[in-house]
Chain A
Amino acid sequence: GAGVSQSPSNKVTEKGKDVELRCDPISGHTALYWYRQSLGQGLEFLIYFQGNSAPDKSGLPSDRFSAERTGGSVSTLTIQRTQQEDSAVYLCASSWTGSGNTIYFGEGSWLTVV
């Protein structure tokens, strides 16, 4: 596709359930990022994948959060045992490589935990 694609666009889940959020980066982009944006807040870095290197997981807020990137393309962010404070927009982004290249964002997945 022409841009970064995320699904679902909206997700409402019950507290305690697991959720999976999917990201399709721009074709050919080797770098992929996940950010979290709480209502009216800035963007919080979660995790970064670059090619075949080990991901930078330094931003994951707890061990309930994990992410995978299969075949160097599609990525899935998984939140286990969701809590109400996990409610936020989860934004995925990609770029050609890493540093200094334009990073393009998807429209986000809006997660509401009730």
Chain B
Amino acid sequence: GENVEQHPSTLSVQEGDSAVIKCTYSDSASNYFPWYKQELGKGPQLIIDIRSNVGEKKDQRIAVTLNKTAKHFSLHITETQPEDSAVYFCAATLDDKLIFGTGTRLQVFP
């Protein structure tokens, strides 16, 4: 089955700096890669996603890149703000199921 690895597990940045979170997946048949943000006590919320026929997607301060050959994808947050502090999860879809990475706790210090 699919296995998703995510790094780093924790990330601390200064406000205004960029943050990068990286994930790898094992099954080349996976074709959909969403990123979720989870705040304390809340359910995960989708922030951006990418499909396997696209290499990069951007939405304001957030971008995601996908390298199908290497089977890895990354989340890039620019000009970080304190409200970006949360746990971020990557995921890969195989057989209609989302398999999640283990999460990255991002802390943005003012």
Instruction: List A residues at the B interface (Cβ < 8 Å).
Output: 4, 31, 33, 35, 41-43, 45, 48, 50, 56, 91, 93, 98-100, 102-108
A42–B97 CB distance below 8 A: no
Query: B76 near A: Cβ within 8 Å?
Result: no
Q: Given A41-B102, A42-B101, A91 and B44 touching (CB < 8 A)? A: yes
Instruction: List B residues at the A interface (Cβ < 8 Å).
Output: 31-32, 34, 36, 41-46, 49, 51, 89, 93, 95-103
- Lowest 4 CB-CB distances: which A-B pairs, in order? A98-B96, A105-B43, A42-B102, A43-B100
In Å, the complex CA distance between A48 and B94 comes to 12
Interface majority SS (helix, strand, loop, mixed), chain B: strand
B103–A42 CB distance below 8 A: yes
A43–B96 CB distance below 8 A: no
12 sample A-B contacts, Cβ–Cβ < 8 Å, listed by A number: A42-B103, A43-B98, A45-B98, A48-B97, A93-B98, A99-B95, A100-B51, A100-B93, A102-B46, A105-B44, A105-B45, A107-B42
Chain B residues closer than 8 Å to A104, beta-carbon distance: 46
- Minimum distance in angstroms from A104 CB to a CB of chain B: 7
A99–B100 CB distance below 8 A: no
Chain B residues closer than 8 Å to A41, beta-carbon distance: 102-103
Point out the residue from A35, A42, A91, A102 that lies within 8 Å of B49, measured CB to CB: A102
Q: Given A43-B100, A45-B99, A100-B93, A106 and B31 touching (CB < 8 A)? A: no
B89–A42 CB distance below 8 A: yes
B34–A99 CB distance below 8 A: no
Chain A residues closer than 8 Å to B45, beta-carbon distance: 105
B44–A31 CB distance below 8 A: no
Point out the residue from A42, A48, A98 that lies within 8 Å of B100, measured CB to CB: A42
In Å, the complex CA distance between A108 and B31 comes to 27
List 15 extra interface pairs beyond A42-B89, A50-B96, A103-B34, CB under 8 A: A31-B96, A33-B97, A41-B102, A43-B98, A45-B97, A45-B100, A56-B97, A99-B93, A99-B96, A100-B32, A100-B51, A102-B34, A104-B46, A105-B43, A107-B41
